[in-house]
Amino acid sequence: MSVNLLTKRLTLDDFILEMMRIAPQDLNLEQLQDLVAQLDLNDTLLRQHITFSDKTYARKLLCRTSRFDMLVLSWHPGQFTTIHDHAGALNVTRVRSGTLTARLFEVYDKRSSTEQLVRVGSEEQLVRGELASVDRDRIHQLANTSDEKLVTLHVYAHPLSSINVYCPNSGQVDRVALQYTLEQ
Amino acid sequence: MTKNNLPISIAIIGGGFSGSIVAAHLLINATFPLNIKLIERRPTFGRGVAYGTKYGCHLLNVPAAKMSAFPDDPEHFLRWVQKEEQSRGNLMPSVVKPDTFVPRKIYGEYVQAVLDEAEAAAKENVQLERIKNEAVSISPDANGATVSLSTGQTLRADKIVLALGNFPPTDPAIQDKSFYTSLRYVSYPWSPHALSDIDPNDAVLLIGSGLTMLDLAVALKEQGHAGAIHVVSRHGLLPYPHKFTTPYPAFLSVEGAPKAIRSLVRLVREEVKNAIARGYDWRAVLDSLRPITQQLWQQLPLEEQRRFLRHVRIYWEVHRHRVSPGVADIVAEMLHSEQMVVHAGRIQAYDEDDEAVDVAIRKRHTTDIEVVRVARVINSTGTECDYRKFGHPLIQNLRSHGFIRSDALAIGLDVSPNGALLDVDGVVSQILYTLGPPRQGRLWETTAVPEIRVQAQELAQELLRSRNYS
């Protein structure tokens, strides 16, 4: 693996090249974890995408290639995502600063493809440098349940065009299309 | 009668000291079916931010004899801690006396024990439900309110207590904020990583010079830090140490006190001068004001309260919120050896490179710029209390629906005397209550255990009194 030996970290350029080496259908979660774990968390480009919003967590698209999306999310204490899966994409999230709460959900009552009741299966707290990984069909939720701001780096492979959002009360599953601009 | 003979339900949002002690009073005193839902987002109940520290060197800033959770039983904590002292090994002082400053993490265990004991002693139909989750919105209606949690579940409650505690500090204002995205900058002083990965010989800058800064400094010392510790704050004033003193007789009545801050300060200063001449310590003079501080505050006109915040607050805080003698000794030694250097001034700019960051500080009352080069900058400016600045979803939700409003000074929330929150139109809520730091605008003195324990007791009584909620 062509890692920058001086810093022992992957630059974004390196990361893109490494991702291009692996055929999308061959990419597995462990490989993606290995690569994301080596990204330089003090990268200037990454820092430029850190921004906080009072309305909800801020989501900035840092890079999109044919193989993956890379986003920077900035969270005030208390902010959280929906309960969702990534419609077939792999996802690895790395904590840059703060503490991330990552919850994996399980379906306990599958009434149909659009009506599934879910509940929390596991929850973990992740700190700087640690990874939260979500396989292609897993349902999860991320949250900042700490008292400090949180910044996380997210890689989705393949690029995300939509996600499925699960309502924990009604069981309804909604396909939600995602659209990004570089400044979103 | 309760409505439909169902238990009354009270949700307490926040399971730190304030929330846990309200819950304990409800458990002990409820004489009718009651369901208490204590909602805490942290892994443990009872600790909050204040008592969640991992460092044994972080001591209470109030002696053991004054830290009881119960105003009617002032020695409750002392008895508990003396019973526990044998089993604590090195963490606890070998003998805990009334004037001992106990580690804060021990106090966290005490709060947990108070809650556990109250739960065990509660009547069968009085139940506590500990909910490890985060409340993100509240929808009041005619019969109570629905609380939504971050995992999507909802719960119903007849009354809700917002036991929110303190909020994190905000980043100091500066023109170019880009340094605040650096890994060299720690925005939250209680972050588990605030002091990790620091080379013991590196220089560090702590912004703010109050009790939070002292906590960080002694924690650095505990982990063997040998490098310089720079401290910057506008005035460069550090909290004074506690000292045991002969109590000073009350010299001021609420009725006789000036209603202007300038006269009030002059009067207190003169009293201190006289007291010292008579052999008293200045601390005793200030402590004699404690029983009437809230009333003195409340009778000041708004403009005078503003004047206090602008000109007197910093001096009040270093004299009033004192530090334990043990911590003061460690810090005095750090100052004496010049490991700690205090700068009075404002940060003008940060200039970061691969090795460190140069921080330019404009010295107070001058145009001189001093540059300190450090490996890490930690924001220890203390808690933010302007609710308009909070991005927390629950606060956003309550504000955007007009269920809460800031007080006139924007140092807390607008509350009625019984702790009920006022909505955006000034209407007193029948459902939402608060205690502790959010009452600062009304009470000024409301962040320490001696004040909050009284509020917790009175709020529980208030909630139990209005049992017929329907």
Which pLDDT tens digit goes with each residue over B417-427?
A: 999 999 999 99
Over residues B11-66, the pLDDT tens digits come to 999 999 999 999 999 999 999 999 999 999 988 898 888 788 888 889 998 899 99
- Across-strand partners of B129? B37
Which residue's structure tokens are 């069909």?
A137
pLDDT confidence tier of residue A183, bands split at 50, 70 and 90:
low
Contacts of A96 in chain B (CB under 8 A): 183
Q: Would an 8 Å CB–CB cutoff place A83 in contact with chain B?
A: yes
Pairwise CA distance, residues A150 & A130, whole Å: 13
Query: How confident is the prediction for chain A on average, in pLDDT?
Result: 90
Residues making up chain A, counted from first to last: 184
Q: What is the per-residue pLDDT for B56?
A: 84
Q: What is the per-residue pLDDT for A77?
A: 93
Minimal CA separation from A28 to chain B, in Å: 28
Q: Which residues of B touch A (CB under 8 A)?
A: 41-43, 49, 134, 136, 150-154, 168, 178, 181-183, 187-188, 190-193, 390-394, 396
Return the structure tokens found at B96.
């805990």
- Quote the pTM value: 0.91
Q: What is the per-residue pLDDT for A75?
A: 96
Mean pLDDT of A29-38: 95
Q: Would an 8 Å CB–CB cutoff place A76 in contact with chain B?
A: yes
Closest C-alpha to A160, from A142, A178, A181, A183: A178
Query: In this model, does residue A182 exceed pLDDT 70?
Result: no
Residue B49: which of A99, A145, A147 has the nearest Cβ?
A: A147
Q: What is the per-residue pLDDT for A4?
A: 41
Closest C-alpha to A143, from A91, A95, A90: A95
User: C-alpha angle B336/B337/B338, rounded to 5°?
Assistant: 90
Query: In this model, does residue B362 exceed pLDDT 70?
Result: yes
- Across-strand partners of B241? B323
Closest C-alpha to A85, from A107, A67, A63, A69: A107
Query: In this model, does residue B172 exceed pLDDT 70?
Result: yes
DSSP letter at B229?
Answer: E
Q: What is the per-residue pLDDT for A184?
A: 46
Query: In this model, does residue B284 exceed pLDDT 60?
Result: yes
Q: Would an 8 Å CB–CB cutoff place A50 in contact with chain B?
A: yes
User: C-alpha angle A92/A96/A101, rounded to 5°?
Assistant: 65
Contacts of A99 in chain B (CB under 8 A): 192
Q: Would an 8 Å CB–CB cutoff place A47 in contact with chain B?
A: yes
Which residue's structure tokens are 């002091």?
B195
Query: In this model, does residue B209 exceed pLDDT 50?
Result: yes
Q: Residue B61 contacts by C-beta under 8 Å, 6 or more apart in sequence? A: B101, B211, B242, B321, B322, B323, B324
Q: What is the per-residue pLDDT for A43?
A: 84
Do B100 and B63 form a contact (C-beta atoms < 8 A)? yes
Q: pLDDT above 70 covers what percent of chain A?
A: 93
**Residue in B with minimal Cα distance to A44:** B182
Contacts of A149 in chain B (CB under 8 A): 168, 187-188
Tell me if residue B110 falls in helix, strand or coil: helix
Query: In this model, does residue B126 exceed pLDDT 90?
Result: yes
- Interchain proximity A47–B178, CB inside 8 Å: yes
Query: In this model, does residue B7 exceed pLDDT 90?
Result: no
Mean pLDDT of A129-158: 95
Contacts of A141 in chain B (CB under 8 A): 150-151
Q: Would an 8 Å CB–CB cutoff place A8 in contact with chain B?
A: no
Query: In this model, does residue B469 exceed pLDDT 80?
Result: no
